[in-house]
Structure 1
Amino acid sequence: MDIQNYSLLKYFITNDSLTLMELTTQFQVSKRTMLKYIQSLNLELKGIAEIKENRQRYYLKVIDFKRLTSLQTGFLKQSLDLNDPLKRQAYVILTLIKAQDFIVLDDLADELMISKGTLNRDLADLKQLLHSYQAQVISVPSKGIKLQVKHDFNYALLLKFVSNYYAFDELLTKATLKQTLPADLLSEHTLVLIENNLAILQVLVQSQHRLEEPIMFYQEITDRVQFQSLIQAAATRLGVQLTETEIQFLCYPFNLKINRATKERLTENRLVWLKQLFDNVEIKVKSEIDSRLEFDHVFEQIKYHLLFMLNRVIFHVQTDNLLSNEAVGKYPIALELATATAQGLGKQVQVEIPEAEVNYLVIYFEMEIEEQNSQRLQQKAAIVGQVSRSIKRFIIRQLNDLFQDSIEVVSFATERELIQSNERYLIIFSNRPIQVWNQTTPVVRINSVFRTDEMLCKIQVAQVEEAIAHNWCDFQVTTLDTALGYYAGTERLIETEIDQGRLNQNFLKAWQRREKETNNVFENGIAIPHVIDDSPAATSILLRIGIFKQPVKYQNRPVRFIFLIGIPQKLDQNLNRTLSQLYDLIFMISRQPSLAANLLDYDDTQPLTQITEGI
């Protein structure tokens, strides 16, 4: 397998399904070339997995999970392509760790079959990476280079930079490992980690690097008696008595999840320590964005995940990226909370929390936000006119399925009875036109219940209209000059609001930083740049829709609509709910051509519900 096929396979593994446009954008190739890549990859994956297509979306169907894992690790460890800077980097680190003295640069360049200039550039990049591990490559004229590492962090360098690229010598066979440990403690993943740790210990012991200093911020929560046979077998094969730190390193895979070796007392002590860290994070997070979440409740829901997340991060255990960047972009508040939490925890334990772990936190925070938003009065729908019981039951079922909630349906014989009820309804069903006092409530024909997409469109637009009426959403639509393009067009939207005192320069700078870090352009011609708004006027969600007369290209994707969102630092239940409704509406517009077409002809003298006309 070549590097192109490996990169494509890895991208499919970390994403559920992908359009051809998403693939061509990611790999910067034409559609024709991408289809050739997919065909080539399928040939290599024969009998293991297959890239399949369904309704213009491509996805990975796995046939043999074990062989797929072996294929991935085999590619990294067996293909010694020293044209790959990451593999050269791994080779240099491993060579420096094994060396007892200085290494001459010319000799190392010859081993790598690269020029001395290329090696010096590699070393310059490597020095930047090593800084966070309190390690450095020192250079002495006429002697060469040598690796200096504090706190016995050689194990961390081997874990992070080397183990994925080199197949170390096997210290204990799988069969031996299975004999030394209870079967219910030895999952396939744990077995792989233990094998890797044994191999790293062998490299360190043979290179006269012993682990003596405690592993910072790490604490076991398991009963070590369960692992004595493993510890003894490792010591015998290595020919040394393992230090306390070496035992901790060897056995950390048993401290990545709850198992029968987990000791309740040790776990509770660790959670007390973790709560102190989380309380410190809460102070910082609330200073940046006040979502009105109950952080004590959040901690109770998330504490075990955080406990094992920190252990994973300390030992650089990789986690699959559960959410793509586009999926994460749909949950801006949860993303801000997760990012701030990860940064706060990481700073306290002196590690960097990787993106994949942050994405898991996004899910937890989004669940908390949705739970908070669900704590509201029961929604009601109304039926005006005579309908049979079976039709009423069908309407109730359809609404409950649509909203994953229990919707109460109230029947009125006449329009007058409806008006006398003086209540607000989620939607009103009637077989003839009626006039309602609340323009944010959609009135639909009873047969609309059979057209769920259109019915949902009208409800979601009406909910945003209500938010606008209550000043929870500051809403405007404007036309943008196509010549500006996406970036300058967004900048123009922001600067206009700054001139009017609605936004400030901090918002502009924050947006510019975000554009460098992530892609805010989604499918079907929509872009959703969003930033926390710390301006004093920010008491509502700002939504500015910029419309290009013709689609423009940005990062190889078409953009017709810019949905600029400013999120206040302080969020109450109404604002949280409004933000969720705005995102629902935006993605509904991206999926419904009729809504998008109506938005192109938007009349700012009419309510937002105009975009549902004729659908």
Structure 2
Amino acid sequence: MTQIDRWYQILNQLQMMPEKAKKELQTELGISRQTLDTSIEQLNDLLKDVAKVDEQESRLRLIVSDYEHFEDVLLGSLKKESDFNAPSKRISYILKRLIDADESLLIDDLADEMMVSRGTINKDLKVAKEIANRYDIAIIGRPNKGLRAEGSEFNKRLLYINQVYDYFEVDNVSETLVAVVTSLSKLYHLPRHTQILLLKTLSTMIGRLSAKQFLDQINLPLAIVGQANPLLEDILYCLESDLEMTLSQAERDFLSLSLNLQYHQGLQGEGLSEERLQTIYQKIMSQIHQEVIVTFNEEELFKELEEHLKFMINRLIFRNQISDIFQGELRDKYPFAYRLSEISAKVLEAQLGVKVDETEISYLALYFEMFLKGAEVEEAIKPKIAVVCNTGRGTANMIQQQLRKVLGDHVEIDQYAEETFNLQTVKDYFAVFTTFPLRFQQEEVPVIHLTHLFNENWLMEEWQKVQRHHQKQMDKTKALLMRLGPQDSYEAYLQQMIDSLENLQFVDVDFRYRIFEREARQTSLFGQNIAFPHTINKGSPDIVLGLGLLEEPLWIEGESLEFIFLLAIPEVLGDGMEEDLLDVYDVIFKFSNDTQMKDTLRNIPDQDRLIEWLKEGKVLQ
């Protein structure tokens, strides 16, 4: 890790939380206490009058006194302070020279310019090639001719903006244009990081256009479209005046991208047309349905994701990285939503030809989780209670007040006189409270005969019985533990597990066929010691989860398989079962990343303990 990298690692860690133990930070950075002390001392010298890393009782905290300049620091301004002793500065210089060069460059010339050895340049060049490859730029070396950077003008500009610009002083943007950007940024309330990125983009464009390197077209798999943007038009007018040229549509689109990486109030966001975005969205949905069985209101989900996807795609195209405020927590906190996001990321990578990093996956997972939980909340209608009274309106009102006092506002109460209550509507209620015995048999709906109305403890006990009754009614997940003796193949293990489910009459006769049909389309080998075969089951109204524990790991293409989660999903999900199914998914996807859970399951003694374990994960009530 270079000195610059250490500085930014320290700042990024400390800005995420009020304070941090010094020992913890030292461990995370993998450095000695002395190196950490030296780095903090250097940082405090560089950040004088802007911020300070303060230490009290071996705990560190960041004190910021100038937030605007501190944001500049976070956006890369410290990199300019480094010299060619820092590998990151040398690598950036190599990339800069290759992008700017009209002719091939010699390694010896680069070594002389930075006053380092040829061997050092060769080491740095290896890293520079890896970075350039991420932007589809190839650094080609030819004997006796030297090095060249080959790739599109669009990608060269992105490489320059993201990997070069911060390390060098560039002063090619006119004072007039800087003033226009500053003024318009205030007018449109642009955040500081957007303003800085806009200036970096303008500077890079000016440098390339001045060198006669024009962007004739943005050769992307997806076209960026948008409406006229007054902010952009004002900046373009000033830029064209400075350059004394009219910019092509491709140049205008390039500048537009830098302004459309996140939502800005007051600006008309530009991105994919809704038609193109829908096409990608449908590919995402198709891939999700190939890998997991889940039901969405896809139209409503698109409305929730549309704006986020539009800006996310722009960021991916522009190779713009957003800060990770989640610190990797979402993978563990919302495992199923994270898995849906990972599937979506694979589709986006295939469509855009770029890598989707974990931060973007986390942000997208948050949208999936909010939608899933929002749907649960929407479905979680207040329980309806019927109060049936044969002693007059006054008594009925008193009963209602007492129930409100004990049960709160989390229930909806309908009030009936004996003669107006329709026994056919009983099934519509969570419970019926009555002052007289009702003459009907209805096992699904508890009936409470009010004998101790003013005994609040009695009322609460009766209500808890009602809740337990419904929990029991809605426990629609069956679990089965299967210890699997050695088999030659994964398919043989599946056959063995399905045989067990068929013998118990938990699945229909065609369940086996559907499992292997899905397996032919998309393998259920999940990696991380897990397989997750699942499909529709017409043989039971319940969710059926079979857990296969392999007595000996099965090795498939270099990876071991120890756990098989075989999930049979009812053709029709009853009340509350969608939430149960999401709980099953959450436990399985969390399990895939949790070594402690795997150790627990390896040693699970019997079926009863498996059921307890699933209850702890809220799969069973």
Query: What is the TM-score of this pair, normalised by structure 1?
Result: 0.65
Pick aligned residue for 1:344 from 321, 334, 347:
347
Pick aligned residue for 1:235 from 237, 240, 260:
240
Q: Does 1:197 align with 2:213?
A: no
User: For each residue in 1:558-587, what CA deviation from the matched residue of structure 2 results, as whole angstroms up to 9, or x when unmatched?
Assistant: xxxx99977779998656523655799999
2:217 partner letter: E
User: For each residue in 1:29-49, what CA deviation from the matched residue of structure 2 results, as whole angstroms up to 9, or x when unmatched?
Assistant: 79x899979986996778747
State the alpha-carbon separation in 1 of the partners of residues 217 and 295 from structure 2: 42
Paired position in structure 2 for 1:159:
161
User: For each residue in 1:220-275, what CA deviation from the matched residue of structure 2 results, as whole angstroms up to 9, or x when unmatched?
Assistant: 41315654442232234345443332232223334343655539xx87x8112211
State the alpha-carbon separation in 1 of the partners of residues 401 and 586 from structure 2: 30
1:155 partner letter: R
Cα deviation for residue 413 of structure 1 reads 10
User: For each residue in 1:379-421, what CA deviation from the matched residue of structure 2 results, as whole angstroms up to 9, or x when unmatched?
Assistant: 6599xxxx99999656545979xxxxxxx9979799x99x998
Paired position in structure 1 for 2:367:
364
| Structure 2: tracts of 5 or more residues without a match | 386-397, 412-428, 447-451, 484-491, 502-514, 550-561, 595-599, 617-621
State the alpha-carbon separation in 1 of the partners of residues 195 and 258 from structure 2: 9
1:191 partner letter: Q
Q: Evaluate the alpha carbon distance shift between residue 64 and residue 413 of structure 1 in structure 2; reply closer, same or farther with a 3 A threshold.
A: farther
Please tell me whether the aligned partners of residues 220 and 255 of structure 1 are also in contact (alpha carbons under 8 angstroms).
no
Please tell me whether the aligned partners of residues 330 and 583 of structure 1 are also in contact (alpha carbons under 8 angstroms).
no
Q: Evaluate the alpha carbon distance shift between residue 445 and residue 154 of structure 1 in structure 2; reply closer, same or farther with a 3 A threshold.
A: farther
State the alpha-carbon separation in 2 of the partners of residues 327 and 303 from structure 1: 21
Please tell me whether the aligned partners of residues 49 and 64 of structure 1 are also in contact (alpha carbons under 8 angstroms).
no
Paired position in structure 1 for 2:416:
none
1:6 partner letter: Y
Structure 2 matches for 1:35-50, cutoff 5 A? 48=51
Q: Evaluate the alpha carbon distance shift between residue 294 and residue 136 of structure 1 in structure 2; reply closer, same or farther with a 3 A threshold.
A: same
**Cα RMSD, aligned residues only:** 5.8
Paired position in structure 2 for 1:252:
257
Q: Evaluate the alpha carbon distance shift between residue 325 and residue 575 of structure 1 in structure 2; reply closer, same or farther with a 3 A threshold.
A: farther
3-state SS of paired residue (2:322): coil
State the alpha-carbon separation in 2 of the partners of residues 34 and 388 from structure 1: 72
State the alpha-carbon separation in 1 of the partners of residues 43 and 545 from structure 2: 46
Paired position in structure 2 for 1:188:
192
Structure 2 matches for 1:161-176, cutoff 5 A? 161-173=163-175, 174-176=178-180
Please tell me whether the aligned partners of residues 258 and 318 of structure 2 are also in contact (alpha carbons under 8 angstroms).
no
1:287 partner letter: Q
Paired position in structure 1 for 2:608:
604
Cα deviation for residue 200 of structure 1 reads 0.7
User: For each residue in 1:315-359, what CA deviation from the matched residue of structure 2 results, as whole angstroms up to 9, or x when unmatched?
Assistant: 223322242322332222211221222221332233333322222
Cα deviation for residue 171 of structure 1 reads 0.6
Cα deviation for residue 365 of structure 1 reads 0.9
State the alpha-carbon separation in 1 of the partners of residues 256 and 615 from structure 2: 60
State the alpha-carbon separation in 2 of the partners of residues 420 and 61 from structure 1: 69
Paired position in structure 2 for 1:527:
none
State the alpha-carbon separation in 1 of the partners of residues 244 and 40 from structure 2: 50
Q: Evaluate the alpha carbon distance shift between residue 358 and residue 395 of structure 1 in structure 2; reply closer, same or farther with a 3 A threshold.
A: farther
3-state SS of paired residue (1:510): strand
State the alpha-carbon separation in 2 of the partners of residues 180 and 605 from structure 1: 64
Paired position in structure 1 for 2:228:
223
3-state SS of paired residue (1:329): helix
Q: Does 1:288 align with 2:291?
A: yes
Q: Evaluate the alpha carbon distance shift between residue 207 and residue 570 of structure 1 in structure 2; reply closer, same or farther with a 3 A threshold.
A: farther
Paired position in structure 2 for 1:487:
none
**What count of residue pairs does the alignment treat as equivalent?**
519
User: For each residue in 1:264-308, what CA deviation from the matched residue of structure 2 results, as whole angstroms up to 9, or x when unmatched?
Assistant: xx87x8112211221222222211122111222211221122112
Q: Does 1:214 align with 2:230?
A: no
User: For each residue in 1:51-78, what CA deviation from the matched residue of structure 2 results, as whole angstroms up to 9, or x when unmatched?
Assistant: 8999x99986766532321232355432
Identical residues among aligned pairs (%): 21
1:249 partner letter: F
Structure 2 matches for 1:454-493, cutoff 5 A? 470=476, 472=477, 474=479
Please tell me whether the aligned partners of residues 482 and 497 of structure 2 are also in contact (alpha carbons under 8 angstroms).
no
State the alpha-carbon separation in 2 of the partners of residues 39 and 394 from structure 1: 58
3-state SS of paired residue (1:196): helix
Please tell me whether the aligned partners of residues 71 and 192 of structure 2 are also in contact (alpha carbons under 8 angstroms).
no
Q: Evaluate the alpha carbon distance shift between residue 84 and residue 327 of structure 1 in structure 2; reply closer, same or farther with a 3 A threshold.
A: farther
Please tell me whether the aligned partners of residues 181 and 230 of structure 1 are also in contact (alpha carbons under 8 angstroms).
no
2:226 partner letter: I
Q: Comparing both chains, which one has the higher relative contact order based on Cα–Cα distances under 8 Å and sequence gaps of 6 or more?
A: 1
Q: Evaluate the alpha carbon distance shift between residue 81 and residue 604 of structure 1 in structure 2; reply closer, same or farther with a 3 A threshold.
A: farther
Cα deviation for residue 145 of structure 1 reads 0.8
State the alpha-carbon separation in 1 of the partners of residues 316 and 568 from structure 2: 32
Please tell me whether the aligned partners of residues 396 and 409 of structure 1 are also in contact (alpha carbons under 8 angstroms).
no
Q: Evaluate the alpha carbon distance shift between residue 347 and residue 215 of structure 1 in structure 2; reply closer, same or farther with a 3 A threshold.
A: same
3-state SS of paired residue (1:368): helix
3-state SS of paired residue (1:300): helix
Greater Cα offset, 176-185 or 135-144: 176-185
Q: Evaluate the alpha carbon distance shift between residue 584 and residue 308 of structure 1 in structure 2; reply closer, same or farther with a 3 A threshold.
A: closer
User: For each residue in 1:357-386, what CA deviation from the matched residue of structure 2 results, as whole angstroms up to 9, or x when unmatched?
Assistant: 22221111112212333354646599xxxx
Please tell me whether the aligned partners of residues 338 and 361 of structure 1 are also in contact (alpha carbons under 8 angstroms).
yes
Please tell me whether the aligned partners of residues 94 and 128 of structure 2 are also in contact (alpha carbons under 8 angstroms).
no
User: For each residue in 1:155-195, what CA deviation from the matched residue of structure 2 results, as whole angstroms up to 9, or x when unmatched?
Assistant: 12112322343342251343243457882265534321221
State the alpha-carbon separation in 2 of the partners of residues 301 and 133 from structure 1: 30
Query: What is the TM-score of this pair, normalised by structure 2?
Result: 0.64
State the alpha-carbon separation in 2 of the partners of residues 92 and 10 from structure 1: 27
Cα deviation for residue 314 of structure 1 reads 1.5
3-state SS of paired residue (1:133): coil
State the alpha-carbon separation in 1 of the partners of residues 38 and 587 from structure 2: 35
State the alpha-carbon separation in 2 of the partners of residues 58 and 510 from structure 1: 41
3-state SS of paired residue (1:190): helix
State the alpha-carbon separation in 2 of the partners of residues 576 and 367 from structure 1: 15
User: For each residue in 1:68-114, what CA deviation from the matched residue of structure 2 results, as whole angstroms up to 9, or x when unmatched?
Assistant: 21232355432325455443332211111112211111221343454
| Structure 1: tracts of 5 or more residues without a match | 401-407, 426-430, 432-443, 449-454, 479-494, 516-529, 547-561, 591-595
State the alpha-carbon separation in 2 of the partners of residues 395 and 39 from structure 1: 58
State the alpha-carbon separation in 1 of the partners of residues 42 and 342 from structure 2: 35
Paired position in structure 2 for 1:127:
129
1:222 partner letter: Q
Greater Cα offset, 57-66 or 346-355: 57-66
Pick aligned residue for 2:75 from 68, 73, 76:
73
Please tell me whether the aligned partners of residues 342 and 353 of structure 1 are also in contact (alpha carbons under 8 angstroms).
yes
Please tell me whether the aligned partners of residues 474 and 541 of structure 1 are also in contact (alpha carbons under 8 angstroms).
yes
Please tell me whether the aligned partners of residues 536 and 568 of structure 2 are also in contact (alpha carbons under 8 angstroms).
no
